[in-house]
Amino acid sequence: MDSFSINKPNKLTSRNPRTKILWCSCICLSLLILIVLLILILAFTVFRARHTTTTVNSIRLAGLDVSLDIPRLRVSLNVSLDLNVSLKNPNKASFKYGNSTTMLYYRGGLVGEASIPSGEIFAGETEVMNLTLTILADRLLSDSYIYSDVVNGSLPLTTYTRISGRVTVMRLFKHHLVSYAYCDVSISIRDQKIENSSCRYRNKL
């Protein structure tokens, strides 16, 4: 009587293709996780967003014209200030900013402004801007302090600059950055010069 032997399939051999696919999937997933982690680490260390800085380098009195109408206690006043402002981008990516404004205040009231057109500052660079602020005389007519300030010989003014933009890190992470510069200026009417000035700076990320 002939005998037949039936060979059972090797379980280990039959599972090899599935095991290989599983191993490949695990390796690919691990590599993907490592790449994502590496990008995150770089984004928050080497390429992390840093504050842009707006600095007022100098303020110059470009023009001053004052005339007093003593009988009516009125003043005709024209003032022009030249500001040299620098904007520094310390980031590893370009900083793109929108249209901005430098404003001139007299005792809390807006009396003049200068436009800053939109632009782009490349990584690690600084842009220098020259701005001219001129007092709009009609905005001072109703101010009750202007006559006494001119008679006393000192005109207090404040400049305010705000520049807002964004930095895109590694083309993935967008950061909105805002920098501010405030300067208090005291103009001597008699000597027709700036007798005192001080600036403060602030950033927001």
CA angle at 196 for the pair 140 and 131, rounded to the nearest 5°: 65
**Which stretch of DSSP H or E encloses residue 27?**
helix 11-44
Tokens of 18: 């599935």
Tokens of 104: 């001139």
pLDDT (0 to 100) of residue 28: 87
pLDDT (0 to 100) of residue 49: 78
pLDDT (0 to 100) of residue 4: 52
- Percentage helix, strand, coil for the chain under 3-state DSSP, each rounded to 5: 20, 50, 25
Q: Rounded to an integer, what distance in angstroms lies between the CA atom of residue 93 and that of residue 43?
A: 11
Tokens of 109: 């009231």
Low-confidence ranges of the chain (pLDDT < 50): 12
pLDDT (0 to 100) of residue 19: 81
Count of residues for the chain?
205
Phi first, then psi: give them for residue 151, nearest 5 degrees.
-65, -40
Strands (E), 107-192: 109-116, 119-121, 126-134, 154-169, 173-188
From residue 179, how far is each of 51, 100, 131 by CA, in Å?
8, 11, 17
Q: Which residue has the tokens 């700036």?
A: 194
Tokens of 86: 């620098």
Predicted model pTM: 0.74
Q: Which residue has the tokens 């039936």?
A: 6
pLDDT (0 to 100) of residue 154: 92
Q: pLDDT of 163-185, one tens digit each?
A: 999 998 767 778 899 999 999 99
Q: pLDDT of 26-60, one tens digit each?
A: 888 888 888 777 766 666 665 677 889 999 999 99
Q: Is 118 left (phi over 0), alpha (psi -120 to 50) or beta?
A: beta
pLDDT (0 to 100) of residue 76: 81
pLDDT (0 to 100) of residue 2: 56
First vs last Cα of the chain: how many Å apart? 91
pLDDT (0 to 100) of residue 158: 97
